[in-house]
Structure 1
Amino acid sequence: MDGFKRYAALAAVAAATAAATAQPRWTGIAEAAEDARGTIRISLVEGKEWTHSFRAMLVAKVTNRPQMAFWLEDASGAYVATIFATRRTAVQDWRAGFGEKRELIKRPSSLPVWARKHAERGVEPKSLCGACHGLHKRPKKDATDPALAAMTGATPKSGFSREWILLPGIKPGRYVVRAEINHSKDFNAAYPENAGEGEAGWSGGSMGSGQPSLVYEGTIVIGGEPSAATLERIGHGHPSGASGEVFRGLESLTTALEIVESIRVEFVPGG
């Protein structure tokens, strides 16, 4: 009996020592939950349809460059953050025609997929969302919020490379980078300017987009190593912007397929 008691006592001491020196079980979880650090670089090569000309009010010739947005989704498809969006779409800053009020002009066909995703907000601060949407109904569209000014901008005159610092709240893991690109008044046979509302080719009337937005995507891994992907076309947005759905067929698009030649996305760890 004495031998058994001594064995039990030694076992208890050993168990207590092991418990005291063992690493807490949650240490790995805490480390995995730390925010990722680094930048995402977008490199775009323009196509031969990068610029598009049309007549405004049948008189003035306007040379246009595309509207675009780049954003991050997690592996489940949930919106995470906007990397960049052209200013006109982000704050609804459209050219006003004769008798129009800028604060009342809406172009839902511009980037309908991003617009619906952006509404989910993701990890973006509430102040950024408020600063963006607060300008929609104002005649003056000045972006005074630094975060909004950093996220938005005019369409570059040609191909470009742009870097974006990861926002707090983005964790290491696999992510999908999506891009949506569209021209105004880019009509073709399938999406004619004279299409009536409710018809398959209607894109919002004479100031609509014509051919719908193109959607691209690619997968990167955000973590301790560099990662890169070339974005591929996966479909198009709703012609009139009635939904945020991505439609997979591209057979009805023509010149829109040549707005962009290539888009490459790279994650660079650091910071």
Structure 2
Amino acid sequence: MKNINNTLITLVLVASAVALIAFVPGGDGFQKRKKAKAVEHLTFQTNINGQGNALNLEFVKGPEHNHPLMAVWIEDIDGNYIQTLFVAASIAKGVFAYGDKSTGRWKAGEIQRPAALPYWAHKRNVMNDKGNFMPRPGFEVPDAYSGATPKANFTLETRTDKPMSGKFRVLMEINQSWDWNRYWTNNKFPDDREYKTSSQPAIVYAAEVTAGVPGEYPMQPIGRSHHAGADGKLYNDLETLTTAMKIVESVKVVVKAGN
């Protein structure tokens, strides 16, 4: 009987210890519970000093969303680039967090990724000293228009530099590495190093907006970029893309009254 009682006491003490670890701040269980709670929606701002129209971009991620790179910009109705509203910081600076392994350990370093967002890069039309259109140190996109790519659904609150009138277009280009499919295979272009950094090409979304007219303007896919970033053309063979079409569940531009 004494042994049974001792066993019961031991079990109670162990259970109590487990409960404390699970719920006391700083315990492993508590930390795991905290980490499991993901942020579902982020709101952030760019170009807060812009003197033009206020625009919101409402983005809902799709089932294949996994750390994509993206850029958002505006054009006139004829397709002439006006300005960038947002671009992922790694592209904006040409420096990636895992860009340099010269010491044997990954650290931030400069990398050119022309296949990442080539449609936007060619539209921006700023040639660097290496002869391509990718931002790099000395040719960066200003911090006011860049930031970390959100990992969750998000609202981008932004402004145009100058007041817009009439109709204009808002565009978004988005790309995600390592998303091979049966058409865009890892040996489709075996000698093209840039293709291997992109896999399925970037997709371009667009919406036509009327300045000063409140409402929601859904963005729709209008094409894809060059698979290796070799040009700034828009290609219309979206039927070759699979999971890349599921990075985005929905995206729209919102113009509020008075803006």
TM-score (norm 2): 0.69
- Contact 1:36/1:172, CA 8 A, preserved across alignment: no
Deviations 1:90-142 (A, max 9, x none): 22122225339966521101000001111269xxxxxxxxxxx997147xx9x
Question: How far did 1:187 drift?
Answer: 1.7
Partner of 2:236: 248
C-alpha RMSD over aligned residues: 3.0
Partner of 2:225: 237
| Unpaired segments ≥5 residues, structure 2 | 1-49, 128-132
Which of residues 89, 110, 115 is equivalent to 2:121? 115
2:142 is paired with a residue whose SS is helix
Residues 247 and 235 (structure 1), Cα distance of their counterparts in 2 relative to 1, 3 Å cut: same
Deviations 1:7-38 (A, max 9, x none): xxxxxxxxxxxxxxxxxxxxxxxxxxxx9843
2:157 is paired with a residue whose SS is strand
Q: Counterparts in 2 of 1:140-219, with a 5 A limit?
A: 148-168=142-162, 170-196=163-189, 204-206=194-196, 208-219=197-208
Question: How far did 1:270 drift?
Answer: 4.0
Deviations 1:141-169 (A, max 9, x none): 9x8xxx9222101111111001112212x
In 1, the alpha carbon distance for the partners of 2:258 and 2:160 equals 10
Question: How far did 1:189 drift?
Answer: 2.1
Bigger Rg, which one: 1
How many residues in Structure 1 have an aligned counterpart in Structure 2?
A: 201
- Contact 2:115/2:195, CA 8 A, preserved across alignment: no
1:114 is paired with a residue whose SS is helix
In 1, the alpha carbon distance for the partners of 2:246 and 2:134 equals 34
**Identity across the alignment (%):** 32
Question: How far did 1:193 drift?
Answer: 2.0
2:207 is paired with a residue whose SS is strand
- Contact 1:221/1:227, CA 8 A, preserved across alignment: no
| Unpaired segments ≥5 residues, structure 1 | 1-34, 52-64, 122-132
1:77 is paired with a residue whose SS is coil
1:115 is paired with a residue whose SS is helix
Residues 249 and 195 (structure 1), Cα distance of their counterparts in 2 relative to 1, 3 Å cut: closer
Partner of 2:136: 136
In 1, the alpha carbon distance for the partners of 2:188 and 2:54 equals 43
